[in-house]
Amino acid sequence: MDSIVTTEDTIAAIASAINIGKGGVAIIRVSGKDSINSCKKIVQTKSKYAWQSHRVFHGFIQENKQNKFIDEVLILVMKSPNSFTGEDVVELHCHGGIILVNKVLKILLSNSRVRLANPGEFSQRAFLNGKIDLTQAESINQLINASNIRSAELAFSGVQGEIKKKIEDIKNDLIQVLCEIEARVDFEEDFTDFDYIKYLKNIKKVKEKIKLLIENSERNSYIHNGISIALIGKTNVGKSSLLNLLAKKEKAIVTNIPGTTRDVIEVNLTINDIPMKIIDTAGIRETHEQIESIGIKKSFGKIKESDFIIYIYSLEEGFNEEDKKIIKEIPKEKLISIVGNKKDLINSKNINSNDLKNTIFMSIKNNDGEGLLIDTIIKKCGLKQLENINIFINERHLKNLSACLSNLDDTDEIVQNRLPFDLLSIELRDGIKNLSKITGQELTEELLDNIFSKFCIGK
């Protein structure tokens, strides 16, 4: 990939989503010092508002070589610095359809002063020109790629600068502590002895703010990426029936013949605004049948890959040594719920004889217990606390927050041993630097390339 570096180039790209043969309107975005002049060369207009800033006017796209019109368009001009990128920007609103809009783009790019934009280059220019910070740029990409309403809401919160506000709040707390320490170093005779206890109290508050953001990051991930839930158990216990129940469709074949499911079946759902991928796996049992054996091997693979495990057993058969053996294969750190199915086939008075602690008793056939299972998943994943989350913390933010927390933890030894207080400033400076990386105040070209290369071309 070409390096995305700040240049004087004028760039252009299709900025709207396009499906082949579909879409009423398509937008081409042009940004840079030659954006207006380059568009003037291919647009014919009689509008009295032509090329005025923040005016929409009517025109036609002219093909240079053949001197004929190929589309009727609306043109929007936004002169620097009052545009998304901070540069002169022109948007050509063409008729939709991939053939036509690519034709217009090709005509525009025939001008040697205009080149095709790299992925994320418009957003990068907005960042470099001070129109947005790095978290806002990432949130724009997050908003475009949101897979559900809640994810879009959190992304828009980031677009509005809420991530930056929280990071700046923490950073300002550290700056205040650092300022006092550095003032003491320069004017020690004007101060009383350094109060290590007060320092610990102030840093503890900062740590709590950082830890809260870190703790929320996993639930953030559930909102954006969804939760992968593997249905695990022996053959003929109701895994495929549960998949169909949750999906509200017949996604898996259900029979009384053991070993019907021989491969992994995945269904994507949205439950309580949280995307969930339900994975039906082959029933686990001893078998010499080659294809079924491959399916069982995949089942154990999905145990390792999934966020959440639903282990299903038959209440009619009871929870036995074979079930215990399979559950021992599930890593202890995995979230798990155990479902006892087919309660419609046993006497309810005897249900406790098959009881396991925290087991959910269901009759999947009779749609009995689905609500309790969903509530359990939401509770165990901490999703009930999502209402209190208003920003999305991505992996890059998490890495820098964790590094900052590590810096602050490293000051504990200095305090405990009453070492010279000026040593604290080293770790505090590094902590502030790690926070500044989140908003983009500490940058490398490599970091920029990595972040913006993941954006779509027109953003």
Residue-wise pLDDT tens digits, 10-59: 999 998 876 655 678 899 999 999 999 999 999 999 999 999 999 999 99
Please give the share of the chain, as a percent, with pLDDT higher than 70.
80
> Which one of 19-23, 220-224, 292-296 scores highest in mean pLDDT?
220-224
Q: Where are the domains of the chain?
A: 10-133, 159-222+392-439, 227-306+308-380
Confidence (pLDDT) at 350: 60
Sign of the C-alpha dihedral computed for residues 44, 49, 53 and 57 taken in this order: negative
What is the separation of C-alpha 59 from the centre of its chain, rounded to a whole number of angstroms?
Answer: 40
CATH-assigned architecture of domain 227-306+308-380: 3-Layer(aba) Sandwich (3.40)
Higher pLDDT, 99 or 218: 99
CATH-assigned architecture of domain 10-133: 2-Layer Sandwich (3.30)
Q: Which residues are within 8 A (CB) of 33 and not within 5 positions of it... i.e. 6 or more apart? A: 8, 10, 87, 88
Is the pLDDT at 458 greater than 70, yes or no?
no
Is the pLDDT at 4 greater than 50, yes or no?
no
CB 76 within 8 A of CB 28: no
**Helix 134-144 × helix 162-186 angle, to 10°:** 160
Confidence (pLDDT) at 419: 86
CA distance linking residue 312 with residue 282, whole number of Å: 12
Residue 203 pLDDT class (50, 70, 90 cuts) = very high
Confidence (pLDDT) at 262: 40
Confidence (pLDDT) at 443: 64
Q: What is the 8-class DSSP label of residue 3? A: -
Does pTM surpass 0.85? Answer: no
Q: Which of 101, 131, 127, 122 lies closest to 9 in space, CA to CA?
A: 122
CB 322 within 8 A of CB 299: no
CATH of 159-222+392-439, one of 1.20.1440.230, 1.20.1290.10, 3.10.450.50, 1.20.120.430: 1.20.120.430
Is the pLDDT at 396 greater than 60, yes or no?
yes
Average pLDDT over residues 250-260: 45
Average pLDDT over residues 101-121: 92
Q: Which of 433, 449, 429, 451 lies closest to 441 in space, CA to CA?
A: 433
Higher pLDDT, 376 or 272: 376
CB 298 within 8 A of CB 282: yes
Confidence (pLDDT) at 459: 65
In a 3-state reduction of DSSP, which class is residue 196?
helix
- Is 227-306+308-380 the same fold as 159-222+392-439? no
pLDDT tens digit string along 140-188?
A: 988 888 877 778 888 899 999 999 999 999 999 999 888 888 877 766 6
In a 3-state reduction of DSSP, which class is residue 89?
strand
Higher pLDDT, 326 or 453: 326
User: CA of 403: how far to CAs of 139, 285, 338, in Å?
Assistant: 22, 46, 37
Average pLDDT over residues 293-317: 75
CB 242 within 8 A of CB 231: yes
Confidence (pLDDT) at 250: 59
Confidence (pLDDT) at 392: 85
DSSP E strand stretches across 47-188: 55-63, 68-78, 89-95, 114-116
CB 336 within 8 A of CB 360: no
The total number of residues shown for the chain amounts to 459
Confidence (pLDDT) at 266: 80
User: CA of 174: how far to CAs of 148, 185, 425, in Å?
Assistant: 36, 17, 10
Mean pLDDT of the chain: 82
Confidence (pLDDT) at 356: 64
CB 394 within 8 A of CB 451: no
Higher pLDDT, 172 or 386: 172
Spell out the long-range contacts of 405-412 with Cβ–Cβ below 8 A and sequence spacing 24 or more: 405/207, 405/210, 405/211, 405/214, 407/431, 407/434, 408/203, 408/206, 408/207, 408/210, 409/207, 411/203
Confidence (pLDDT) at 180: 81
pLDDT tens digit string along 60-95?
A: 999 876 678 989 999 999 999 999 999 999 999 998
